[in-house]
Amino acid sequence: MNNKSIKTMILGIIVILFGGFIMLDSSSDLKGIEFFILIIGLIIGIVGFFHKD
């Protein structure tokens, strides 16, 4: 693993946490966008894991 793949995985984790915080906020009503944000973060993390130079 190189430095770029680790940074990409960390970005994916940050996006997942951001989506989780939006889901936990009771005042936000985004009608399912939270799950889309979680899926995007998961995809970014997986891409970072399998990224090769």
Q: Where in 1-53 does DSSP place strands (E)?
A: none
**DSSP structure class, residue 2:** -
pLDDT of residue 23: 87
Band of the pLDDT at 1, cuts 50, 70, 90?
low
Q: Which long-range contacts (CB under 8 A, 24 or more apart) does 30-35 make?
A: none
pLDDT digits (tens, 9 = 90+) for 13-46: 999 999 988 888 878 777 888 889 999 999 999 9
